Amino acid sequence: MTKQPVYLDYQATTPLDPRVLEVMMPYLTDKFGNPHSVNHTFGWEAEAGVDLARKQVVDLIGAASDEIIFTSGATESNNIALKGLAYASYPEKNHVITVATEHSCVLQSCRALEKSGFSVTYLSVDEKGLINLNDLEDAITPKTSLVSVMAVNNEIGVQQDLKKIGEICAAKGVAFHTDAAQAVGKIPLNVGDLKIDLLSISGHKLYGPKGIGALYVRESLTPHPLPLFDGGGQERGLRSGTLSPALCTGLGAACEIARQDMEKDFEHISGLSDKLKQAILSGVENVRLNGSETHRFPGNLNFTFEDVRSDQLISELRHIALSTGAACSTEKPTPSHVLTALGLNRRQIDCSLRIGIGRMTSVAEIDYVADQIITIVNTLKQQA
């Protein structure tokens, strides 16, 4: 069909929307001012771009402009939320709760906290990838400062019940952080409705540029996180360093587009996802969809093809860009901690494949991919 490879790795990163690039370009050329320069028009011009971007980001999640700070990405946002809040709450509170299936930057931040003497509870998930809300309630103690539960899982697309989690945290007076890198701009998320205190965003997961993210910090949250490094005191003292107006305006434009196109995108992605899922489930034997069928973002399909190793499958699917799981862990030979937490054994994990569908995916691509996967899986099965 196509000579161009088909991109189906939208959880690793999304293409930059051309509308976003258009907004960014002037800030990479003529509008080069430092947004923190207050004495001249070059600074003001850059600052105006950053201000608008901030408004566009908060509008997408129902926050106010002074409630977000720009960061370098969701990794940094998660580090500030977890470590910054843990440090700020110490010594009165020294306990943090998270989930076994979180992104590695959340889990590694928790490991670092443990090394500094904090205690961390890692909630397990059921075979669908969902936490048990009673377990969460039971884990909260008077020493707990923070609960961190991701919105949409990057490997299996499972969506936790943020509303119920937010209610539990609010009732217990514990801060609620969510890593929403895979959710912002894809599904409606309102920090007020969901009682979220801290929320992490990544630009390059919602058709914006790489190297930018944001952290929402509820104004009324006490204490606020402490900064992780020192400097000029930008971003309300929480994140020093000169902002990049090009990256900020890119993230802002990506959020604005996502707000306007969210329903349309969701319908498009759900349609393609259903089509591909049905084709694969009916075209291949002994295949399972990993994670809850109902509580999931449809743009993420994670399958286990019995007896077909995914590394072999991926190399046979030459014109399709796919991945077995998190991009940041592909160099490590360790099996996915997410699939392990679902109860899959090593053999099943080695036969698992993630398919990411997004805004730019076409019907023709999905038809091609369905046909290719079914043909190659069945060929490899015969050889097995």
Binding residues for ligand PLP (CB under 6 A): 73-75, 103, 105, 150, 154, 179, 181-182, 202, 205, 213
Structure tokens that stand for 34 in this block: 């430092």
We find the least distance from the C-beta atom of residue 251 to ligand PLP, in angstroms, to be 10
Q: Cα 308 to chain center, whole Å?
A: 28
| C-beta of residue 242 within 8 angstroms of C-beta of residue 34 | yes
Kindly state the smallest distance separating residue 5's Cβ from ligand PLP, in Å. 21
Nearer to ligand PLP, 79 or 94 (CB): 79
Residues 6+ apart with CB under 8 A from 16: 204, 207, 208, 209, 250
Name the packing angle between helices 18-28 and 245-283 (round to 10°). 160
Which is closer to ligand PLP, CB of 88 or CB of 106? 106
Q: List the catalytic residue out of 110, 169, 255, 328.
A: 328
Least distance to ligand PLP, CB of residue 26, Å: 24
User: In 3D, which of 297, 299, 279 has the Cα closest to residue 287?
Assistant: 279
Q: What's the burial of 30, exposed, middle or buried (CB within 10 Å: 0-12/13-18/19+)?
A: exposed
Active site residue 110: no
Min dist CB 158 to ligand PLP, Å, is 11
Residue whose CB is nearest to ligand PLP in the complex, by number: 73
**Which token pair is 63?**
């926050």
Q: With respect to ligand PLP, which residue has the nearer C-beta, 14 or 94?
A: 14
Residue closer to ligand PLP by CB (options 129, 213) is 213
Residue 205 has what DSSP assignment?
A: G
Q: How far is the CB of 115 from ligand PLP (least distance, A)?
A: 21
Nearest to ligand PLP of 202, 273 (CB atom): 202
What residues contact 116, with CB distance under 8 A and at least 6 apart? none
> Tokens representing 264?
């349309």
CB 241 within 8 A of CB 104: no
Distance CA 377, CA 230 (A): 53
Which residues are the active-site residues?
328
